[in-house]
Homo-oligomer: A and B are copies of this chain.
């Protein structure tokens, strides 16, 4: 087992958490079989995720890749598995309550890649079989500062430029759609005054026409009152496959927003990857009708099979399902695509930050994983369908060593770049 901590440039994207640092961190795992077959996975970065995988070395080395997940099942089923773990105040990947499920997922995907490469089968076909060959993703526009991420010799080109107005954001989306063919848009809000963000969605609708589902995600930045106001203002624009994601913090707040919108005759569904981030959150969310669409992430829900379980739960209880994303590279994108391909009840296009990353940082051999027609196609090659580029891995590791960042802290970056007194306040509006 090899564990690599790598870094990549990350553009100055804004959200209610603050500002992306100039570098994002990832951990890449390689499991090498006796026959020399290599299974890989990519997960959250920094010191803690790498150390958590390292701590399992004794259980991993010499294990049968088919049985390893069974022997590590306490990571997802043991004490703590039944604990709710809201991410309201923590960026994904920095929540200690899901450390074990994250660790399990990283090992599981590497095992599946190893098994797939050993048997000549795609990961999606090892976990029940693909129900789709191409997985749809959304455009994921952000308000951002100018710059493509990285600093000095590592500074990346900025294809998109600054976007701090509705007009700039619409241009950003047009660029993304032209390049990747996305058929839906999820807009990261919670950054500017809600009136400006409403205007942004209205301009997006006007520019893109009626056929493109629009979604808006302020990461809990709004009060119930503001959430309802935005929900009413955008009732038309978010209909037809749109959703309102985590408008306000907490299940109770979400439930109140839902209730008040329904009372206005508006049934825009509420999505979440903040109020519902584990199986333990589901019963209460269902009881309150707080969340109608779960945005999962195999990286922290405990891996591919846990996401499939979640899909069945969502189907059984009438919830929608899609996937959340974080800054990531191609191995994670393919992990998401394989899991999504083998999850029948996937009802919305998935999120991905992938277009924000630079090809200069890609670690998969052959360069970035293609997104075409808004979709990632399951590759013909076995396992995840990619191998690591040794030179690029070395580059990512060297970059990691060179930079001071060891975890993600969007608040600190906001203080550094914008306002030394900036705090994440919920609700802000």
Contact A68 B129 (CB under 8 A): yes
Contact with A73, one of B82, B131, B305 (Cβ below 8 angstroms): B131
What is the 8 Å Cβ interface bit string for chain A, positions 55-87, against chain B (1 contact, 0 not)? 000000000101111110100010001100000
Q: Are A344 and B308 in contact (CB under 8 A)?
A: no
Known: A70-B342, A128-B70. A279 touches B119 (CB 8 A): no
**Which listed residue (B121, B126, B316, B345) contacts A283, Cβ 8 A?**
B316
Question: A279 contacts which of B82, B129, B312 (Cβ < 8 Å)?
Answer: B312
Task: List chain B residues, Cβ under 8 A from A81.
Answer: 315
Complex interface bits, A303-318 against B, C-beta within 8 A gives 1, otherwise 0? 0011011101101111
* Chain A interface SS verdict (over half): helix
Number of copies: 2
A66 with B306: CB separation less than 8 A: no
Residue A170 at the B interface, CB < 8 A? no
Within 8 A of B (CB), among A161-189: none
A280 on interface, CB distance cutoff 8 Å: yes
CA distance A67 to B119 in the complex (A): 13
- Would B279 and A69 count as touching, CB distance under 8 A? no
A339 to chain B, nearest CB (A): 13
* Chain B residues with CB below 8 A from A251, complex form: none
Q: Please tell me the number of chain A residues within 8 Å of chain B, measured between CB atoms.
A: 40
A130–B67 Cα gap in the complex (Å)?
6
Measured in the bound complex, the distance between the Cα atoms of B251 and A200 in whole Å is 49
- CB of A409 within 8 A of chain B? no
What residues of B have a CB within 8 angstroms of the CB of A289 in the complex? none
A141–B312 CA distance with the chains assembled, in angstroms: 35
CA–CA, A312 to B306, complex, Å? 8
CB of A66 within 8 A of CB of B305, answer no
Bitwise, A94-135 to B at CB < 8 A (1) or not (0) is: 000000000000000000000000110110111011110000
- Any chain B CB within 8 A of the CB of A282? yes
- A-B contacts, 11 of them at CB < 8 A, read A66-B119, A66-B121, A66-B122, A67-B125, A70-B124, A70-B131, A77-B344, A82-B315, A283-B316, A283-B318, A312-B312
